Homo-oligomer: A and B are copies of this chain.
Amino acid sequence: MYSYEWEQLQTRLPQWVEESRKQHVHGQVAAYIPELSKAPKEALGITIMDGRGNTITSGDCGCIFTLQSISKVFTLILALMDNGERLVFSKVGMEPTGDRFNSMLKLELVEPGIPFNPFINAGAIAVSSLIAGNSIEERYARILQFFRLLAHNDRMDFDQDVYESESATGHLNRSLAYFLMEKGILRGKVEDVLEVYFRHCAVNATCADLARMGLILAYNGYDPIRNEQLIPRRYVQIAKTFMTTCGMYDASGHFAIQVGLPAKSGVSGGILTMVPGRYGIGVVGPALNRMGNSTTGVHLLETLSRELDWSMF
């Protein structure tokens, strides 16, 4: 009934997780706000879900963490559904940068001044400002509803403490947002846009949520469990392309070579990835490498891709 690969996963995943967990000594938990710094540095968990809803979990899958940059995948998709490709790509570009995720340098060097892509902070803030809705509340509610739909989890919501800390200390994001306002990229008021942005970054999730959301992407917007097309296939294609070229900050090229799967990481240590047409995968490992990706999570995904020949290239 189960494939050979699935059996391999069931048998060997615990050992691979323990092997990768050791990498936590090379990483640091994000410490820019107190809420993130409390995450257990040595934790590592993974959930893999197939198209019939079967799951394999291993390690610390009970961890609850905030989506952070992983949310950018889904706000991009929602912004595309709300506005279409033409409008969205008049506000953000399509190019990977090779620069740090919060770089201002790139904003200055590029004409006509739009952010390089929707996954650097400047681009994600621009995208957030495109979500339809007449108020902060309405826009956030639409985003949350979309996340819940994809994760099949109605309890998802943002963490108030994380949100407040991010909002209180988010000077760099404010700086980026005012720069975008100066360039005419932002829709609405800076503080309103940032409130929506800080909220969706602070939405809580588990590996199971990520795996479920990833499964929809792995099936090109179709939910194979509920048998329903939730997202137009083209918008998933766009999202998966960006996840491949710029989903792992300035280690995206390295991840493409060593893992070869569309993925998006967040500063809380989460990684959402997938094996196209087969699995949705959620990983969490709070110890970050200097590129801002989960050092244990990346090691685990490298192992899986190498052992199971998962690279799409």
Using a CB–CB distance below 8 Å, which chain A residues touch chain B?
Answer: 93-99, 103-110, 116-117, 171-172, 174-179, 181-182, 190, 237-238, 240-242, 244-246, 250-254, 256-257, 260, 262, 276, 311-313
Contact = CB atoms under 8 A, between A and B. Distances in A.
5 contacts: A93-B253, A94-B253, A104-B105, A172-B182, A178-B178
Contacts of A107: 104
Judged by DSSP, the binding face of A is helix
B104 A179 contact: yes
Contacts of A253: 93-96, 117, 242, 245-246
Given A103-B108, A107-B104, A252 B181 contact: no
A82 to B, nearest CB: 18
Contact of A237 (B98, B117, B178, B260): B260
Nearest to A240: B313
Given A253-B93, A256-B244, A181 B171 contact: yes
A254 B94 contact: yes
Contacts of A172: 178-179, 182
A70 to B, nearest CB: 18
A178 to B, nearest CB: 4
Contacts of A313: 237, 240-241, 244, 262, 276
